[in-house]
């Protein structure tokens, strides 16, 4: 079933990327048979020289969204005969230090998120000065090009937010609560700014701490009890949406919940109407393209996107099309 698409300022197409048949084989003379990852890729493995690529994000493994990103990255690494070194830290200075460690270990390429661009800029520059190709994904849409990063894979968070706001208009919302789970995280704050721009009603922001989920639930509950006029809660991640489901019940509220991003547990919540819809930016695809693009550049000097971001979203998932992605979500690739 076809997913509903949100509006975009531009369409970026990946065209004409042909991989010669000689680069695909059941195993590599240098890398051996790839380990099974559950990533849904059975493409064999390239026989290009084995290289090491670092993926460095601002979220630690264990979050369902970032697990999808890592699965996509590993699927590409297995196909491309790449040793993937994944590391993460939510604190920007520590993430920057991880980039420097990757530089010091002389990796062949770096894929990085830019949730806090100012803090990451010196580390990115150090990588480029060391002639290490750098691509960005997921966070940093407004900053990657100015930082000298060669490619970007993700969604324009402002576009996604505006699209969500406009959909809320269609849904008949009048007053919404937009929940930000990490204050100062550029992508999250941009989402709520976009929602506010696209929505014709009243928007209120609420900051919570995603590292303390009981606190998230109680904070949203208290807000809904304080203001019964809130008719929709907008969350920016699937785990926060599921916490908000509990909050609505605790508060005896009639508010409906919509969210950005998906995971397997959210499938059932959409099916049973606890969550109305989700904005999907395809995290598996972001991780996959980030690693695959570096392999293409290292081996064939290919660049994807023509100097523009390659957009992986937004699209909307609701009860009308949830069955099309439900099995994939349960398998951990959507």
Question: Higher confidence at residue 75 or residue 46?
Answer: 75
The two structure tokens encoding residue 21:
């048949």
Q: Is residue 186 part of a domain?
A: yes
Which residue in this structure is represented by tokens 């493409």? Answer: 43
Burial category of 227 from C-beta neighbours within 10 Å (exposed 0-12, middle 13-18, buried 19 and up): middle
- pLDDT tens, residue by residue, 208-229: 999 899 999 999 999 999 999 9
CA distance linking residue 118 with residue 226, whole number of Å = 37
Same domain, 94 and 30: yes
- Residues 189, 120 share a domain: no
- Does 203 fall in a domain? yes
Residue 235 within a domain: yes
Q: How far apart are CA 33 and CA 230, in angstroms?
A: 54
Residue 119 lies in a domain: yes
Structurally, the chain folds into a number of domains equal to 2
Q: Are residues 271 and 293 in the same domain?
A: no
User: What does the pLDDT average to over 297-313?
Assistant: 96
Shared-domain flag, residues 290 and 189: no
Higher pLDDT, 33 or 252: 252
Q: How far is CA 187 from CA 101, 223, 270, in A?
A: 25, 23, 24
Cα separation, 253 vs 189, whole angstroms: 25
**Quick one: tokens of 67?**
């697990």
Domain annotation covers residue 42: yes
> Would you say residue 56 lies in a domain?
yes
Do 181 and 269 lie in one domain? The reply is yes
Are residues 107 and 208 part of one domain? Answer: no
- The answer to whether residue 84 is domain-embedded is yes
The pLDDT tens digits of the residues spanning 122-134 come to 999 999 999 999 9
Note whether 52 and 139 are same-domain residues. Answer: yes
Banded model confidence at residue 59, pLDDT cuts 50, 70, 90: confident
Rounded to an integer, the average pLDDT of 241-262 is 97
Residue-wise DSSP of 60-114: -BTBHHHHHHHHHHHHHHHHHTEEEEEEE-SSHHHHHHHHHHHHHTT-SEEEE--
Phi and psi dihedrals of 306, rounded to 5?
60, 35
The predicted structure's pLDDT at residue 41:
53
Q: What is the CATH number of the domain that holds 179?
A: 3.40.50.2300
Tell me whether residue 6 is in a domain.
Answer: no
Question: Do 178 and 264 belong to one domain?
Answer: yes
* Structural domain for 32, as ranges: 18-155+282-303
3-state secondary structure (DSSP) of residue 246? helix
Asked if residue 275 and residue 204 are part of one domain, the reply reads yes
- For residues 125 and 191, membership in a common domain is answered with no
Mean residue pLDDT of the chain comes to: 88
Which pLDDT score, from 0 to 100, does residue 42 have?
A: 57
Which pLDDT belongs to residue 296? 98
Q: Global pTM?
A: 0.79
Query: pLDDT category, 206, cuts 50, 70, 90?
Result: very high
pLDDT of 7 > 70? The answer is no
pLDDT at 61: 66
Same domain, 107 and 149: yes
SS3 153: strand
Tell me, yes or no, whether 149 and 22 share the same domain.
Answer: yes
């Amino acid at each position: 079933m076809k997913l509903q698409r949100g509006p975009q300022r531009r369409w970026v197409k990946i065209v004409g990327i042909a991989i010669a048949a000689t680069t695909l084989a059941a195993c590599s003379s240098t890398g051996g048979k790839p380990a099974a990852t559950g990533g849904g890729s059975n493409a064999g493995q390239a026989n290009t020289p084995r290289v090491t690529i670092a993926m460095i994000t601002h979220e630690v493994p264990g979050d369902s969204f970032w697990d999808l990103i890592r699965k996509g990255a590993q699927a590409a690494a297995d196909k491309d005969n790449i040793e993937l070194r994944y590391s993460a830290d939510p604190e920007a200075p520590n993430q920057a230090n991880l980039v420097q460690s990757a530089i010091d270990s002389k990796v062949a390429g770096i894929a990085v998120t830019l949730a806090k661009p100012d803090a990451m800029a010196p580390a990115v520059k150090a990588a480029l000065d060391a002639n290490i190709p750098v691509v960005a994904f997921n966070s940093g849409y407004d900053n990657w090009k100015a930082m000298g990063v060669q490619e970007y894979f993700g969604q324009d968070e402002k576009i996604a937010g505006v699209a969500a706001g406009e959909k809320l208009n269609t849904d008949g919302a009048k007053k919404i609560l937009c929940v930000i789970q990490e204050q100062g995280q550029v992508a999250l704050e941009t989402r709520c700014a976009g929602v506010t721009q696209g929505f014709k009603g009243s928007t209120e922001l609420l900051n919570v701490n995603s590292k303390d989920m009981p606190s998230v639930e109680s904070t949203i509950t208290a807000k809904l009890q304080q203001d019964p006029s809130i008719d929709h809660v907008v969350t920016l991640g699937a785990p926060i949406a599921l916490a908000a489901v509990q909050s609505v019940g605790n508060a005896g509220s009639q508010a409906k919940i919509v969210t950005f991003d998906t995971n397997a547990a959210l499938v059932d919540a959409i099916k049973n109407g606890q969550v109305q819809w989700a904005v999907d930016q395809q995290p598996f695809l972001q991780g996959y393209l980030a690693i695959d693009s570096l392999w293409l550049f290292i081996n064939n000097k290919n660049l994807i996107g023509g100097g523009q971001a390659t957009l992986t979203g937004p699209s909307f998932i609701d009860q009308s099309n949830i069955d099309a992605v439900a099995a994939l979500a349960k398998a951990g690739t959507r």
